[in-house]
Amino acid sequence: MAYHGGTLKSTSINGVKVYSLTGHQRSLATWLNPKKQRALRKDTEYSQRVELIQDLNFETATTKIKATPDGEFLLASGIYPPQVKVYELRELSLKFERHLVSEIVDFEVLSDDYSKIAFMCADRSICLHAKYGSHYKVRIPRMGRDMAYDSWSCDLLCAASSTDLYRINLSQGRFLAPLTTQSPGLNVVSRSNCHGLVACGGEDGAVECFDMRARSSVGRINAVAAAEDDGQVTAIEFDDEGGFQMAVGSSEGKVLIYDLRSSHPIRVKDHMYGSPILDIKWHRTLNSEHPKIISTDNHIVRIWDPETGVGMTSIEPTGGAINDICVIRETGLMLLALDSTHIPSYFIPALGPAPKWCSYLENLTEELEENAQTSIYDDYKFLTKEELERLNLTNLIGTNLLRAYMHGYFIDYRLYKKAKSITDPFAYDAYIEKRKKEKLEAMHRERITIKRKLPKVNRHLVRTLLEDEEAAENDADKKKSSKKKKGLNSDILNDDRFAELFENPEFEIDENSQEYMALHPIAPQKQTALLDEHFEPIMEDEMSEGDASSDDEGRLDKKSQTPRLYEVKDERHAQAFLENVSLANEDALPLGERVAALHDDQRASRLHGDVKVGRGGSREISFVSRSKAKYQEDEDNKDPRHCVFGLIWALWITRNNLRFRSELYYPQMVFGVADGWIARCAAARDCLVSMSCSVPPGFGLRISSSCSKGDPSAVCDNTAGAG
C-alpha cells in the first residue's frame, strides 16, 4: 500500500463504517484540460494521498474488474485505448498491461491465475490470451453481451442479442450446437459451481435454466413479473454454498431472491434508483453466519441481508457511474470500476477482515481516519434544471457546454456569470448592498453594549423604557439646548419605591383591559402585524381628485402629515381584529379541521344566548315563528321595571361615552338605534311615576328636530346636554 502522508475518508451508514482507501485524492472532472491535470503535480493535497495499489487507474474509464480464483492477481479492463491491466496483489503494483483492437465488453478467467483469459470484444470477437499474449481469436454470429465458463465441460458460453446461447468448446477448439431459448435476446448468463445449472436472462424478463448434461431447458419462469414490472433481466447469480437460491436483477432496479423449488420470489429488494442492476454477489465471511448480498447498479452499491431484506450499509461513489464491482473473497475489501480514471477501493471491517496481502489495513484505517469532506469543482458551477430554466439555458442541454451529473448539470463558471448578468443585471448591485449591510451589522455587533437583565414582571414596559432612552441618546438631530421631556425613564428600576412594580405579579399591566385601551388608544408596535393582516391600505390614487391636484405647497405639507387610511378586508378579518387575534394559524389548518371547529367554537359574545357565533363571522340562530298578536301580548305582560333598568343602563353608557367618545374602540357597543331609545323614553317616565319613583332633575333625552331617525351619531350629539 503506497502511503504519501495523506489521510483516509470514512463514512458511517446504519452504524457501519466504510473506509475509502483512495484517501485524500481530489475528485477530478473527466472533461478537465490535460494541462490542468498535469498541474496537480505541484498540488500539496494531491501529492499527500493514499494509494492501495500503484497505478490503479485508466486514461478514461474502467469497464470491468475481476480477481483471479487464487486471489493473487487483479484484472481490470478499460478505455481509451482498449486495454487490460494485470496487478500482482502481493507486490501491490502493476504486473503488465495489454492493448486490444476493440473495446472489451466482458472477460472470463479460465484458470486459477492470469495464464488463461477469454475476452469478449465489441466487434463480436472472442480473444483468447495466454501468459505470452494473444493465443487465438474467433467471431460469434451476434453482438455478445455476457460470458460464462463451464469448467466441467470446457464450454465457453456466450450470451448475445439472439435467441441462441453460443457454445465454444475450448478442449476441442470448435463451436458446438447452441442452446436455444424462448427469449428474443439474452442479456446475461450465469452458472452454478454447486450443481452446474446454467441460467439465462432474457429481454422479455424471463429466466430459463439448462442442464448441461442433457443440453435442454429444464425450466422457465417470468422472474420480473413478480415485482410488478415489465422489464428485462440484467443480472443472475447462484448461491454456491447452498445451491438452492438464485438472485435475479431487473432493469427497473429490483433484486428478487428465488428458491429453485418455487416459482415465486421469497424476497424483493428495490434499489430506489430505477437503473438496471449490473451485478449481484453472494458474500460470505468468517464474521457472519449467513451470507450477505452485494447488489450494484449505476449509482449505488447496497449490502443487505437476503433473509430479512434489511440493509447493512451502502456505498455511493462520487467519481462517476458504476460499471462493475470486484469483492475480494472472504474479506471486507471491494473495488469499483467507474466512468472515471480512478478505481476507488473501500474497506468495511463489519463485512470481513482485511486480505492477507494487506493485513495491516485494519490498523492503518484507524490511524489515518478523518472526517468526511465534500469535493467540489472550483471552475464549474452546479445547476439544477429549474435554475437552468431561470437562466434561459435549457437549450444547452445535450451540448458540451453542460455536463450531466446526478440531478443537475455542471456549467463553466464564466458562462454562468455571463448568463446571470444578462437575466439579472442588477444582481451585482444587490450583492454590493448586501455586503454593505453585513459589514454595518458586524460593526454594530462589535460595539460595547450594556446588557440589562429584564425583570420577570412588566418586561414589556422596561424594554420600552430602555429603547426610548437609547433612541433619545442616539438621536443626532436633537439639539443640546432642547429640554428633556418629562416622563418615565430607566431610573425607576433603581428606585425602591417602584420595586413592587417589577417584582409582584399583582402589578402586571394588562394591555387587554378596557382601562389600558382607553388610556392608550394608539395601537402598540406589536399590533402592526395584525393591521397588515386584516386591513388593506387605501392607495393615494384612490383619494379624491381635489386632494391629488392641489398645487398649494402648504396643502402638500399637510398632506404629508395625513394619517394613513386602511380598509378592512372583510367581516371575518374585522371580527378577528376586534378580538386582537391572528387568522394565520387558522388559515393554515386543513379544510376538515376548520369545518369541525365551526361546530365546537362558541365565543363568549354580547349576543343573545341562542345565537351561535362561528369562525369567519358566521352566525346561527334558531327561532319559532309567532303571530303579531302574540308579540303584542308579550309586550303587555312585560314587567315595567325591565324598561326602567334598560333605560338607566343605556343613559349611563351614553353619558360616560360622551365624555370619552374620542377614545372608544367599540362604538357599536354604545350607539344603539335612535328610534329604539326615543320610543322607550316616554314609557320609562310613565313607569317611574306609576312606581312612585322620584325622577331626578334633568333625567331625560332632548332630541333636536334636525336629528335623523336612524343616525346614532345625531342622537349622541344632541344628548350632550342631558343631565
Shared domain for 636 and 651, answered yes or no, is yes
Torsion of CA 463, 464, 466, 472, to 10 degrees: 160
Q: For residue range 624-640, what is the model confidence (pLDDT) as tens digits?
A: 665 555 445 555 554 54
Residue 575 near residue 608 (C-beta atoms within 8 A): no
Q: Does any domain span residue 239? A: no
Same domain, residue pair 360 and 389: no
The answer as to whether 59 is a domain residue is no
Taking CA atoms, 651 is separated from 216, 383, 517, 700, 712, in Å, by: 110, 73, 22, 9, 14
Model pLDDT, residue 543: 47
Which SS3 state, helix, strand or coil, does residue 345 take?
Answer: strand
Same domain, residue pair 417 and 339: no
**Which residues lie across from 623 on neighbouring strands?**
none
Least confident window among 138-147, 419-428, 542-551, 615-624? 542-551
398 and 344 fall within a common domain:
no
327 & 390 share domain: no
Grid coordinates representing 24 are 485524500
Average pLDDT over every residue of 166-191: 90
Q: Which of 333, 356, 375 is the last residue of a domain?
A: 375
Please tell me the pTM assigned to this model. Answer: 0.51
One domain for residues 344 and 412: no
The answer to the question of residue 574 being in a domain is: no
Would you state the pLDDT for residue 18?
85
331 within domain boundaries: yes
Residue 235: its pLDDT value, please? 92
Predicted confidence at residue 694, as pLDDT, reads 44
Is the same domain home to 367 and 427?
no
Question: Residues 704, 707, 711, CA angle at the centre, nearest 5°?
Answer: 145
Q: Looking at residue 248, what is its pLDDT?
A: 93
411 lies in some domain: yes
pLDDT band at 189 (very low <50, low <70, confident <90, very high): very high
Check pLDDT > 60 for residue 673.
no
Coil/strand/helix, residue 581:
coil
Distance from C-alpha of 666 to C-alpha of 617, rounded to nearest angstrom = 17
The reported pLDDT for the residue numbered 625 is 64
Q: Choose between 120 and 403: higher pLDDT.
A: 120
Sheet holding 333-338: strands in order across?
322-327, 333-338, 345-347, 16-20, 8-13, 369-370
* Same domain as 334, residue 395: no
DSSP code, position 454: P
Same domain, 370 and 384: no
Task: Give me the number of domains the chain comprises.
Answer: 3
415: CB partners within 8 A, 6+ apart: 401
Per the model's pLDDT, the better-predicted residue between 207 and 478 turns out to be: 207
Last residue in a domain, options 430, 446, 462: 446
Domain boundary among the residues 414, 430, 446 is at: 446
d(CA 186, CA 160): 6
Greatest Cα-to-Cα distance within the chain, rounded to the nearest angstrom: 139
Whole domain around residue 354: which residue ranges?
Answer: 1-51+315-375
For residues 635 and 711, membership in a common domain is answered with yes
Tell me: the pLDDT tens digits for 360-412? Answer: 777 776 665 544 444 445 567 888 888 888 888 888 887 878 887 777 888 88
Q: What is the mean pLDDT of residues 82-86?
A: 91
**Structure-model confidence comparison of residues 687 and 206, the more confident one:** 206
| 335: nearest Cα among 49, 46, 22, 86 | 22
- Residue holding cell 467471431? 139
- For residues 85-96, give the mean pLDDT: 89
Claim to verify: residue 644 and residue 668 sit in the same structural domain:
yes
Please indicate, yes or no, whether residues 355 and 423 belong to a single structural domain of this protein. Answer: no
| Mean pLDDT (the chain, rounded) | 74
**Where does the pLDDT of residue 663 fall: very low under 50, low under 70, confident under 90, or very high at 90 and above?**
very low
In a domain, 442, yes or no: yes
- Decide if 211 is inside a domain: no
Question: What is the DSSP secondary-structure string of 490-535?
Answer: GGGGG-GGGGGGGT-GGG---TTSHHHHHH--S--GGGHHHHHHHE
What gap in Å lies between CA 266 and CA 252, rounded to an integer?
Answer: 18
Q: Is 651 within the bounds of a domain? A: yes
